Structure 1
Amino acid sequence: MALKSTIYKAQLQIADMDRHLYADHALTLALHPSETDERLMMRLLAFALCVPADDLRGRLEFAGGLSDTDEPDLWQKDLTGDLVQWVEVGQPDDRRLAKACGRAEAVRLWAYGSSTPIWWQGLQGKVSRLERLEVWQVPTSSSKELAALAQRSMQLQITVQDGGIFVGNGQDSVHLEPVCLKARGRA
């Protein structure tokens, strides 16, 4: 018998001073049976950092991710069905990223885990020409601290200022400083 996903609910209060974005979001996330709290929270963080200021070009939504190999973790589709954003979490291979760049206007990857430097060393040359790709690394210690905030029902405040990110739940908070491994348009 197949294991079922666990449902998490999150209330996000986002104050992103870098993008002048201030918004509240009520989200429902499914934790896949093979997924960790760390990955779940990275998906939540990716949502907060990639959500557009308005829905004029479609909403950013959680996609199939682990359950569907043809879908990212999050995506934003416009009213015609064209992909505006393709957002991945983890360490996908170069073929997946190239395919995503061929389908979406912008591809954003949030890598985490202790093996990220080794993974990136092997991938960097293969994706250097993908102009639509942006790659960020969240330090392992930060992603582990973020995982500790995971609860089935969460109220999180996410503040972004000068590239630093603070995530808090009213009792505990985590400070993250992602490192840009590849900016859009260049290697």
Structure 2
Amino acid sequence: MAIGVVMHTFDVQLADLDRGVYDDLTLRLAQHPSETAAFMVTRLLAYCLEYAEGIAFSEGVAATNAPAVLVRDATGAQTAWIEVGAPDAERLHYGSKLTGHVAVYTHRDPARVLPQWAGKKIHDAENIALTSFDPGFVDAVADAIERRNTVALSVTEGQLYLDVNGTSLTSTLHRHPIA
């Protein structure tokens, strides 16, 4: 593990009513020194919102040919490529050709992220969406994060309800088609 990495533990109660996914998770996230708290929080949210059997965090900044979060089936084949932030078009194209599902979650202003993909070659772009949160939401979550965290995350009708260490927050899940 790199010097300066901060380990965070999250005990998560997940209730995604929109997808019919309910589970209790214990997650350990390593925050690399070059990674902002907002990016780490977005990785956590992406993991929970895409939760499925075989989901895992990649090696992070060390994994140049892997997304932030990925899903593998029982054979080890990747079935989902989940990016965080503002990945370039080539990464989305590669991930889309490799897997059947690509998703992007961002803590940034979607109006500044979406134009970077306009006119670029991205395989199956019409089936890829950028998910963003209400302004200030991710930063508020980041402010509530500690080394050990208790999280209750619920999703219903596109609304995210989150309790982090006793701080209750809510956001609409904004889905933006990239093509």
On whether the aligned pair clears a TM of 0.5, the verdict is yes
* Match of residue 140 from structure 1: 135
Deviation for aligned residue 1:78: 1.2
Stretch of structure 1 that moved more, 162-171 or 94-103: 162-171
Structure-1 residue corresponding to 2:4: 4
Distance in 2, matches of 1:156 and 1:35, equals 21
Residue 76 of structure 1, aligned match among 71, 77, 85: 71
1:138, distance to aligned residue in structure 2 (A) = 2.1
Alignment match, 2:35: 35
Which deviations, in whole Å up to 9, do the C-alpha atoms of 1:110-156 show, x marking residues without a partner?
02224x31221231342485244232122331111121121110010
Q: Distance in 2 between matches of 1:29 and 1:98?
A: 27
What letter corresponds to residue 50 of structure 1 in structure 2?
E
Q: What runs of 5+ residues in structure 1 fail to find an aligned partner?
A: none
After superposition, give the CA deviation of every residue in 1:130-186 in whole Å (9 maximum; x if it has no partner): 244232122331111121121110010001011000110252111111211118xxx
- Asked whether the equivalents of residues 105 and 132 of structure 1 are also in contact (C-alpha less than 8 Å), the reply is no
**Amino-acid identity (%):** 26
Q: TM-score, normalised by structure 1?
A: 0.87
Distance 1:77 1:128 in 2: 20
1:21-74 residue CA offsets vs partner (Å, 9 max, x unmatched): 11100111110110111111111111110002xx3xxx1001023221111111
Aligned to 2:89: 94
The count of aligned residue pairs is: 177
Matched, 1:120 2:114: yes
1:74-127 Cα offsets, whole Å, 9 max, x none, are: 11111222111111110011011101111111011002224x312212313424
Please provide the CA RMSD for this pair: 1.8
Residues in 2 aligned to 1:131 and 1:117: alpha-carbon distance in whole angstroms: 18
- Structure 2 counterpart SS, 1:35: coil
* Structure 2: runs of 5+ lacking an equivalent: none
Checking the alignment, whether the CA contact within 8 Å between 2:145 and 2:165 is kept in structure 1 is: no
Match of 1:65 in 2: 60
